[in-house]
């Protein structure tokens, strides 16, 4: 069994992003600083933190080359400036298809070096009257799960809709923390957001940190918010309902170890994917 190497503080930044990348990043900068002042050693930004456009195709126009561009530079600079891990919920990365991007969750270490890239595997589709979404029209899916090593243990990356697919996280083995940057709709958020996050924490016996978009955006879209940190027993440690701000909490290595010792469900698994 892999136990957490130590306790550490994390933060989820909640935003209500618009269609101006520079303005969005400028509003996020003090929120990262606030999280670091509160003791965070890892800061997670939500899905679409840099751009919530009026149209789905706006992300394609703002796509960056892998390794360069304003959003990637911001993430690297923020991590280095504050000497913390910074994970950007998603950055649109160019592909060979001029009409689609990769939605990439990017993790940077305290030196500003990129240590992981995860491309969103599961693409959201939803239809309820006038509210309709189909990410496959503008996003090319990734094809594998990703985690990265930290001083405190292994951390799993994912993006929003991925949280509905438990096999993604199980494929990574034991981790201390799952990151879920998101932009949940209000109808799906009210019905499933907390339920899904707590379920992923309970079944993987680890913490889950979810950074959300939360409010009414300039494009007229409403997002659910409720960024939160969930512990390995499924308890909500901290939460923010709506509006820009931070959720800060402690990843307690003792909690993870106690849960896995008292209820060794991970060791009891009998049916595994081939």
Q: Which residues are known to be catalytic?
A: 47, 120, 160
3-state secondary structure of 176: coil
Residues whose CB is less than 8 angstroms from the CB of residue 9 and which lie 6 or more positions away in sequence, other chains included: 38, 39, 40, 41, 248, 249, 250, 251
Closest CA to 182 of 27, 39, 55, 15: 15
Q: Name 13's bridge partners.
A: 246
Q: Name 148's bridge partners.
A: 155
Phi and psi torsions of 273, nearest 5°: -65, 140
Q: What is the 8-class DSSP label of residue 206?
A: S
Q: What is the 8-class DSSP label of residue 84?
A: S
**Distance between CA atoms of residues 220 and 36, nearest Å:** 31
Burial 37-71 (b: 16+ CB within 10 A, else e): eeebbbbbbbbbbbbbbeeeeebbebbbebeebeb
Q: Name 209's bridge partners.
A: 179, 229
Q: Are 145 and 273 in contact (CB under 8 A)?
A: no
């Amino acid at each position: 069994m892999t136990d957490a190497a130590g306790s550490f503080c994390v933060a989820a930044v909640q935003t209500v992003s618009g269609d101006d990348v520079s303005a969005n990043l400028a509003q996020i900068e003090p929120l990262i600083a606030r999280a670091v002042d509160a003791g965070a050693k890892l800061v997670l930004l939500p899905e679409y933190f840099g751009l919530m456009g009026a149209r789905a195709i706006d992300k394609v126009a703002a796509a960056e080359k892998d390794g360069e561009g304003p959003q990637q530079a911001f993430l690297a600079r923020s991590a280095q400036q504050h000497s913390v891990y910074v994970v950007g919920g998603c950055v649109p990365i160019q592909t060979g298809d001029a009409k689609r991007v990769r939605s990439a969750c990017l993790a940077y270490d305290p030196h500003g070096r990129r240590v992981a890239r995860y491309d969103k595997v599961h693409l959201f589709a939803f239809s309820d009257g006038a509210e309709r979404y189909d990410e496959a029209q503008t996003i090319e899916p990734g094809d594998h799960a990703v985690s990265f090593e930290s001083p405190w243990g292994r951390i799993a990356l994912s993006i929003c809709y991925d949280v509905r697919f438990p096999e993604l996280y199980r494929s990574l083995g034991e981790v201390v923390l799952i990151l879920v940057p998101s932009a949940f709709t209000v109808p799906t958020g009210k019905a499933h957001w907390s339920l899904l996050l707590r379920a992923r924490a309970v079944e993987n016996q680890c913490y889950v940190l979810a950074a959300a978009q939360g409010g009414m955006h300039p494009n007229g879209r409403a997002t659910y918010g409720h960024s939160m940190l969930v512990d390995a027993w499924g308890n909500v440690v901290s939460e923010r309902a709506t509006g820009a701000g931070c959720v800060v909490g402690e990843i307690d290595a003792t909690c993870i170890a106690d849960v896995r010792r008292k209820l060794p469900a991970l060791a009891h698994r009998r049916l595994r994917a081939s």
